[in-house]
């Protein structure tokens, strides 16, 4: 073996240094390759109480863990030798366009996670061409969301309150602000038992424990944002003392039934969707009312623990009601491949809750944009590897659901 002295040009070819990124948020976001990476950044940058409020679920958190596991237990069946040089990820949902088959789920109290809150989410969603949903217990008004996302699609999520006139006033405001879809959430007759919030003293106003305060001190950026922006208040109501769960219980009307649903539907001019359907029987009853869509969801595992896994319900619900009613799904989506699997099994659309909030906590609007980039590039990659170039080509034959738990035969 002959040896020689290396020349500078040899090094230049094998060692290419990245231009340094001085902005710490941008540097962190660029290093996140998955939603799990964004979650890890969020855990480092956000005080424990709001992080746990987002990350946690009800009781033993089994509903959430099982829903995520169900997506991981997918086996894909790729078709080979297809031209996938161009992939179209766009779809029509509830009569309008979306650049990808996912939108941002409604989440409450969003500005405690990051001061940018719903405005950051709505602006990022609008720029990416996907719908944004505002919760009844959101921390930005419908008009504020419209301002942040003036040309994109905004959806409003309704919790029916005991005070019906007040509930419908907010709905009217959303309609006036151009929101094109109403999602009525039906899985919260009472609030679920979110134990992390009780342990952390996440009440309104906060009743902080020593541990919560100690944990929050090093999260300087969160504090600066929190203290130097408009105080957190609720878009639709104000002045509350108690835990989040107690607040929900005081507001929500546990008597709401199918007649009320029809009553709300009659008053809404746009697309009408019921969120939180968890059995085939209820899917049929809701579809019979003539709604435009249903969301199979167990509220991200934040309500009934050990609830049905929405992804497992999907094929039979699509088979039974999917011809006349759009079937959407959420709970447990952590990657673009999860979304592709859901679409293959007949979901028209999906919603992402925590995936969006991890991005928000990790870096405000830029963080939500990073969430959307990660999910959308995973969708494109999975579609190409499956050999499909449009969402319509995705079919049940592309996916097998490997099931760990099966019911005991009765």
Pick out residues in 144-183 that bind ligand FMN (CB under 6 A): 157
Total of chain residues touching ligand FMN, rule CB under 6 A: 25
> CA-to-CA distance for 265 and 291, rounded, in angstroms?
8
Of the candidates 293, 332, 346, 359, which one interacts with ligand FMN according to CB under 6 A? 332
Nearer to ligand FMN, 270 or 332 (CB): 332
Sign of CA dihedral 374, 384, 330, 335: negative
What DSSP element (H or E) covers 320? helix 310-321
Of the candidates 35, 74, 160, 352, which one interacts with ligand FMN according to CB under 6 A? 352
353 lies in the binding site for ligand FMN (CB under 6 A): yes
* Max Cα distance, the chain (Å): 88
Q: Where are the alpha helices (DSSP H) in 252-309?
A: 258-267, 280-288
305 lies in the binding site for ligand FMN (CB under 6 A): no
CA dihedral 291, 295, 299, 300 (to 10 degrees): -170
Classified as helix, coil or strand, 56 is coil
Distant-in-sequence, close-in-space partners of 392: CB < 8 Å, separation ≥ 6: none
Residue 283: CB atoms within 10 A of its CB come to: 23
Nearer to ligand FMN, 116 or 332 (CB): 332
> Are the C-beta atoms of 125 and 155 separated by less than 8 Å?
no
- Choosing from 114, 233, 299, 398, which is the catalytic residue? 299
Of the candidates 47, 103, 108, 293, which one interacts with ligand FMN according to CB under 6 A? 108
46 lies in the binding site for ligand FMN (CB under 6 A): no
Nearer to ligand FMN, 134 or 388 (CB): 134
> CA-to-CA distance for 239 and 99, rounded, in angstroms?
39
Q: Is 398 a catalytic residue?
A: no
- Which region among 196-204, 251-259, 330-338, 397-405 touches ligand FMN (by CB under 6 A)? 330-338
Catalytic residues: 299
Site for ligand FMN, rule CB under 6 A: 53-54, 105-108, 135, 137, 157, 185, 275, 297, 299-300, 302, 330-333, 351-355, 357
């Amino acid at each position: 073996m002959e040896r020689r002295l290396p020349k500078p040009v040899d090094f230049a070819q094998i060692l290419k240094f990245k231009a340094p990124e001085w902005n710490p948020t941008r540097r962190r976001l660029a290093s996140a390759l998955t939603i799990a990476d964004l979650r890890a950044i969020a855990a480092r940058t956000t005080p424990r109480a709001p992080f746990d409020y987002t990350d946690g679920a009800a009781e033993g958190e089994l509903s959430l863990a099982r829903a995520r596991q169900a997506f991981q237990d997918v086996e894909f069946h790729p078709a080979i030798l297809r031209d996938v040089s161009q992939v179209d990820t766009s779809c029509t949902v509830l009569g309008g366009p979306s650049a990808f088959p996912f939108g941002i789920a409604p989440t409450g109290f969003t500005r405690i996670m990051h001061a940018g809150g719903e405005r950051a989410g709505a602006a990022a969603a609008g720029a990416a061409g996907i719908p944004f949903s505002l919760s009844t217990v959101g921390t930005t008004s419908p008009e504020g969301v419209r301002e942040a996302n003036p040309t994109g699609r905004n959806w409003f999520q309704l919790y029916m309150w005991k005070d019906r006139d007040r509930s419908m006033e907010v709905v009217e405001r959303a309609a006036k602000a151009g929101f094109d879809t109403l999602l009525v959430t039906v899985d919260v007759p009472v609030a679920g038992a979110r134990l992390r919030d009780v342990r952390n003293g996440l009440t309104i106003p906060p009743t902080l424990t020593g541990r919560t305060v100690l944990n929050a001190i090093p999260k300087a950026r969160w504090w600066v944002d929190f203290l130097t922006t408009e105080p957190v208040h609720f878009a639709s109501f104000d002045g509350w003392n108690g835990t989040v769960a107690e607040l929900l219980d005081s507001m929500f009307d546990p008597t709401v039934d199918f007649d009320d649903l029809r009553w709300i539907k009659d008053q809404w001019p746009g697309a009408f969707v019921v969120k939180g359907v968890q059995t085939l029987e209820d899917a049929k009853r809701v579809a019979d009312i003539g709604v435009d869509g249903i969301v199979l969801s167990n509220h991200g595992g934040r309500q009934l623990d050990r609830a049905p896994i929405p992804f497992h319900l999907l094929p039979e619900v699509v088979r039974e009601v999917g011809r006349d009613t759009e079937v959407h799904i959420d709970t447990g989506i952590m990657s673009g491949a999860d979304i592709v699997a859901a679409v293959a099994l007949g979901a028209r659309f999906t919603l992402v809750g925590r995936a969006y909030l991890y991005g928000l906590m990790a870096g405000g609007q830029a963080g939500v944009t990073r969430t959307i980039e990660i999910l959308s590039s995973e969708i494109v990659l999975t579609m190409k590897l499956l050999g499909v170039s449009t969402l319509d080509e995705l079919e049940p034959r592309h996916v097998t659901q490997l099931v760990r738990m099966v019911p005991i035969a009765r």
